[in-house]
A and B are shown apart, each in its own frame.
Chain A
Amino acid sequence: MSNNGNSLLNYLESTPMDLRVSNLYKSFPDKEVLKGLDLHVGPSETHVILGKSGVGKSLLLKCICGLEPYNSGSVFLNGEQVLSDKDLAKYKIGFVFQSSALFNSMSVSDNVGIYLREHRLVKDEDQYRSLVSGALELVGLSGVEEQFPSELSGGMKRRVATARVLVMSPDLILFDEPTTGLDPMMTKTIGELIVTLKETINTTQVVVTHDIEFGKYIADRISIISEGKIIDVGDPGNLENSCNEVVKSFISKKFDEREGKYEERI
């Protein structure tokens, strides 16, 4: 790793977070989505939440980081209940959006460094450039600093979005469907990136996806979400042995990206 990469790793001061969600309910005027959901993610754990589209996986992440208010239930970060935005502001929670959510009018460098600039965390321009380049190097995207998001592929955008989150020294990173719309090669690259992050910065990661193979590859533990609840939690290797019929049925199906639905495995 270059000097830039090392300077980023020296700069990162994340404290892996313990996340607990208890009896979470969230409904919209026409639909109840989360129905008493419980979840526990330990410090430094990479936890994958698997489930079909539309069961509330992304909504759960938004409830955890305060983007969506929930009707009832509790979110505990490091054992402390989150009661207001001020409680949340004490922690650094990075969110990698499904759409990447990069600022189109800014260069890649400005996108990645926005947190440093807006919170005035760097002393000089050299340190700023070094940290931004280090973050981009860590996600395998050196040399794209001056490009704009419109010039990048979908996979590159996700990696830039991940780099933007890395410079926050996040205590918790939430990945919302990080492989949706990507080809198998890029899905593998994103999977390797998440595993690399686990090894290098040792932060807590929650990944929601509908891609079972991808989930198994990156996860320490996997939760299956269905009907607004977590119906089973286990190690990636033990999912096939689950006693839960819904889990068995889900695991035995393969997601067809082109059709947008699950099909029986052969």
Chain B
Amino acid sequence: MSELFITTGGIIKLLFQAIYWCRDAYWNMDKILYQITEIGNNTLPVATLIALSSGAVLSLQSGPTLASFGIEENLGGIVGLSMVKEIGPVMASILIAGRMGSAMSAEIGSMSVYDEIDALKTMNINPVRFLVMPRFLAMILALPVLVLFMDVVGWFGGALVASANPEIGLSYQVYFRNLADFVTVKAVFNGLIKAFIFGIIISIVSCYVGLRTKGGPREIGRSVTKAVVLSFILVLVSDYFITRILLFMNID
């Protein structure tokens, strides 16, 4: 139980330290841009595939049922809203936690184990400013953009199945007109708020676990597993609470 409190306290403290060091973002722009590029390079191809499949599956599951009631023209709105509000942010976060969160905890964990963090401290270089802040900012900037990208690709995935599947037989024009009617800026904004918060969770959890790594190479592996699992849990659990809050604030 005490470990739970230590971890929670440590994560919150690291979050505030990372926010504090954002004042040095201008001087660390090269590191932030490098991290954003890393996120893009490592996730875009997989994100495209996942978003295309997710949109296609949504269309495939809902389309025939809607068609049986004669209301298949609503498919665009259903796929569109599902992508921007839930599937886009959650899928992107799972992907980012798996690919980038693991890389962050492995890299920082390895630096902890091999005295590199201590070396930074002896040179009066704050490890949070040097290591955590650039990753934190890159993640909260890149994840919403990735979500927007996945939303659009997901819509196209849904449209492809809607027009190609004879059981649905919906034209692109009808699909996208309905999507435009239902998907409001507010709905997209809803998904971006979630992505922003998920970005905070994944970056801080991954960096925290990395910084706490002690021992040898085996512990680095354990840290990676711990960071990814903890990020998944926190993203999925917080998703419910964020949705509740957004509904309460009438942003949903």
Contacts and interface: CB of A to CB of B under 8 A. Distances in A.
Contacts of A93: 122
B172 interface: no
B118 A101 contact: yes
Interface residues of B, number: 14
A114 B126 CA distance: 12
A103 B31 CA distance: 15
A105 B118 CA distance: 16
Interface string A31-69: 000000000000000000000000000000010011100
A245 B124 CA distance: 42
Given A118-B130, A120-B27, A89 B124 contact: yes
Contacts, number: 43
A119 B119 contact: no
A interface, over-half SS: loop
B114 A65 contact: no
A178 interface: no
A45 B56 CA distance: 73
A67 B119 CA distance: 9
Contacts of B116: 101-103
* Residue of A95, A98, A168 with most partner-chain B CB within 10 A: A95
B27, B107, B114: residue with the most chain A Cβ atoms closer than 10 Å = B114
Given A115-B125, A118-B130, A119-B124, A97 B27 contact: no
Nearest to A89: B124
Interface string B92-134: 0000000000000001000100111011011111000010000
Which of A65, A118, A168 has the most CB atoms of chain B within a 10 A radius of its CB?
Answer: A118
B123 A168 contact: yes
Contacts of B125: 114-115, 118-119
B122 A67 contact: yes
Interface residues of A, number: 24
Given A101-B115, A101-B116, A103-B116, A94 B130 contact: no
Interface string B1-43: 0000000000000000000000000010000000000000000
Contacts of A102: 116
Contacts of A66: 121
14 contacts: A65-B122, A67-B118, A95-B119, A97-B119, A101-B114, A101-B116, A103-B111, A103-B119, A104-B114, A114-B123, A118-B125, A118-B130, A119-B124, A119-B125
Interface of B: 27, 107, 111, 114-116, 118-119, 121-125, 130
Interface of A: 62, 65-67, 89, 92-95, 97-99, 101-105, 114-115, 118-120, 164, 168
